[in-house]
Amino acid sequence: MTQTQYRIILLLSLLLGALGGFLDLAVPSLVPDALRVAQEEYDAGLPTPRLVIGLVFGLPGAGLALVSTYGLYRFRRWAPRLAVVGTALTLIGWFGLGFSGQSGFAAAFSYLASYLWGGCVMLCYAAPYRSWFIDNVGVMASREA
């Protein structure tokens, strides 16, 4: 795999995640009315502590994941660790928010984005890709593997 291919996979994970997150908002007819009503009732009854936990962990986690995406794209030394921390915080945030109803298309895009993101983060710790991040001290790595 080359660095360009890695970057394409990384950008695809970001693009598919955004598509999965916003598809149901853009095309509400994809979500059945019964599921939409159930989601609204669930959201209205969500206990405040769970909402706070979801936001306290989820928002910073999403911010760190976004910043780490830039770092992974530029092969920065700090990016792999930041990606792991951001991902962990985001997952804790999702547990706090609980149930989320999505259309099949949105769920498929979200799952695929998660798989690609996980692959990108795992590759940072595998040879020979680890050297892309270890050898880089602030300038774009030029080595292709």
Determine the Cα–Cα distance for residues 63 and 56; give it in Å rounded to an integer.
12
- Indicate the residue type of 51: L
Q: Domain boundaries in the chain?
A: 3-134
Model confidence pLDDT, tens digit, residues 75-89? 999 999 999 999 999
Predicted confidence band at 137 (pLDDT cuts at 50, 70, 90)?
A: low
Model confidence pLDDT, tens digit, residues 75-124? 999 999 999 999 999 999 988 887 788 999 999 999 999 999 999 999 99
Mean pLDDT of the chain: 90
Dihedral over alpha carbons 57, 58, 62, 63 (to 10 degrees): -50
State if pTM tops 0.75: yes
Residue 69 CB partners (closer than 8 Å, separation 6+): 10, 14, 83
